[in-house]
Amino acid sequence: MNTLFDLSLTTDIPLQTVVSAFLLSFILGMVVAIVYRHTNRGFSYESSFAFTLVMIAVIVTAIMITIGSNIALSLGLIGSLSIIRFRTAIKNSIDMAFLFWAIAIGLAAGAQNYPVAFITTIFMGGIVYFLGKWGGFFNVNTDYILVVQAGSKGSQDEVTRLMDEKNLSWKLKSSFVNKDGSEYTYSIYSRRNVEIDTIISQMNKLKSVEGVTLLSPETNLYI
């Protein structure tokens, strides 16, 4: 019991050390947020999440400094976290990885293990940059759902002819025709060097086309 009591005693940490840890976690958290901003490819990107990454790094640093080697506080923290229900769902697995990156920085800075915090930031930043440039593990948005509204006298021949001319792979998924007009839904695939926006602009200029809607498989619906 005496041993446990001795271990639970807090150790005074110099103010300079506390300030240094906070500054380091803030700066490295900003680096994580900047990397996230420039590499995020999803439509679900929110600037508030980048702001959260910086906050998480600093908050975890504060928790680590407060706990230190205090067993009583660490057990109390575990008990507190066990009753907290986090209602915000992170739907993108890459966002989760960035969140753990910020937590790791906070843990290292709070434990005054500054080399680990620096090396982790540099190493992870290099990995994210390499994978982002290479694109081998990222969805490059080459698959789309195309919805074309045509007039009563319109035909899908002009649309399919344009897609063939632009080397788009396509497949008709559904069609709806009535006296007022028609609507066709295609799944299309474009190569990386094909500018899909230019093709859609040209498609809108066709006389038989009244409207074009382009959907990406990364489009998220939040309910």
pLDDT in tens, the chain (223 residues): 444 444 444 456 788 989 999 999 999 999 999 999 888 755 556 778 889 999 999 999 998 888 876 666 666 666 556 555 555 666 677 888 899 999 999 999 988 999 999 999 999 999 988 887 775 555 555 678 888 888 755 567 788 888 888 878 888 888 888 777 788 888 887 765 567 777 888 888 887 788 888 877 555 444 4
| Residue that the structure tokens 């639970």 belong to | 8
The whole-angstrom separation of Cα 82 and Cα 64 is 18
Tell me the C-alpha to C-alpha distance, in Å, between residue 168 and each of 129, 149, 183, 188, 193. 30, 19, 19, 7, 11
The whole-angstrom separation of Cα 44 and Cα 95 is 10
Strand ranges of the sheet holding 209-215, from the earlier edge strand across to the other edge: 169-178, 181-189, 143-150, 209-215
Instruction: For residue 187, give the DSSP letter.
Output: E
| Residue that the structure tokens 């790094």 belong to | 57
Residue 122: its pLDDT value, please?
A: 94
Residue 166: its pLDDT value, please?
A: 80
Element (H, E) at 150: strand 143-150
Asked if 150 and 183 touch (Cβ cutoff 8 Å), the reply is: yes
Tell me the C-alpha to C-alpha distance, in Å, between residue 217 and each of 124, 149, 166. 27, 20, 21
The whole-angstrom separation of Cα 108 and Cα 106 is 6
Nearest to 158 by CA among 203, 196, 194: 203
All domains of the chain in start order, with CATH:
2-134 (no CATH), 143-215 (3.30.70.1140)
